[in-house]
Each structure stands twice: as structure tokens, then as C-alpha cells.
Amino acid sequence: MCSVVRLFLLPLIVLFLLGCFQDGQVFDLTGRAAPPLKLRTFVSHKLITLDSFKGKPVLVEFWATWCSTCTREMPGLAQLYDQLKQKGLVLIGVNQDAHPSTAIRYLHERGYRWLNLDDHTGKVSALWGADGIPVIALLNKEGEVILYRQGDAVGDETAIRAALHHIDPTKF
């Protein structure tokens, strides 16, 4: 009887506890509509929403200058964006630095010229499961997340290209 209880009850207790503690779960938005994204640009403070990019594939990158993994993956994303922006790819950086001037300087020094938004409060990042960064999410033309990666995405350009090809084989 004791072994039967252990066999069936213990896994149920573990599953219950994992369900109670959200931090133990893996966050994945793949297959879901993208959460809201409404933030301001660094310099002009223009309000940007995802709705303004409907009909285009959008790659959203959550990052900060203090995140070494984030800065390590940026050259690959920059190269990918430079190659595919003329085909319609939109790249949006969502920055979590406490001081926007730090991110502005970092982007300028490296010549990164894609849209970057200020989320120093982390409120929008939390909606996207980007409490731990880096996080990248690729949205199809309808705004659905088709690729979602947490952590080191260095070298994920191949997976991003494959997902883009799935969105529009004639362009990507």
C-alpha cells in the first residue's frame, strides 16, 4: 500500500506544487497572440504599439546593456536584420536598462539602427515572460508568436530564418 501511495500520490503533489509556483514553470508564448506592447522610443519619446506593424513579421528582442548574453547575440541579430529589413522584417528591441542614455550610447557606438523602446520599469517585459533576459519572439503577419526563445539565442538566426520562410517562402 505504501509503495502505491508513493507511486501515485507523490507525483501529484509535485505537479500541484509546480503549478502553485509560477517561477518554476517555463514561459512560452509560441502559438499565442502576442501580448500588448506599447512603449516609447528613447529619443523622440514617440509611442509605439505592435498594431502599427500588422501585416509584417516582427522580431521582438528583450535586452539590456548589463546582460552579457544579450550583447553577445546582438551582432547576429544585426546581421540578420540588415539582410532582411528590405524584405519586410521589423526588429524591435525592448530595453530594460534603468537609464535610457546607457542603451542609447551602446546602440550608437555599435551602429545598431533598429527600433528600440524603453521598458525600464519592466512592466511590458513581464507580460512577455521576459523577467529574465534575453528573450526573443518572432511574430507572424497576424501578430501570433511563432518562435519564442528565452536565454542565449546566439546562433538562432538559422531558426529565425526558417520560421520567416514558413511565414512567406517567396520573401524569406
CATH number at residue 158: 3.40.30.10
Q: Is the peptide bond before 11 cis (omega within 30 degrees of 0)?
A: no
Considering the chain, what percentage of its residues have pLDDT values greater than 90? 76
11-60: pLDDT as tens digits: 433 333 333 333 444 689 999 999 999 999 998 999 999 999 999 999 99
In a domain, 90, yes or no: yes
Q: Is residue 172 part of a domain?
A: no
Which residue has better confidence, 10 or 56?
56
The secondary structure of 98-145 as a DSSP string is: SSHHHHHHHHHHHT--SEEEE-TT-HHHHHTT-SSS-EEEEE-TTSBE
Number of structural domains (the chain) is 1
In terms of Cα–Cα distance, which of 101, 119, 125, 110 is closest to 79?
110
Residue 6 lies in a domain: no
Is residue 4 included in any domain, yes or no? Answer: no
Domain that holds residue 37: 27-167
Is residue 100 in some structural domain? yes
Q: What is the pLDDT of residues 41-54, one digit of tens each?
A: 998 999 999 999 99
Q: Is residue 105 part of a domain?
A: yes
In terms of pTM, does the model score above 0.85?
no
Give the Cα separation of 91 and 81 in Å (integer): 7
Indicate whether 83 belongs to any domain.
yes
16 found inside a domain? no
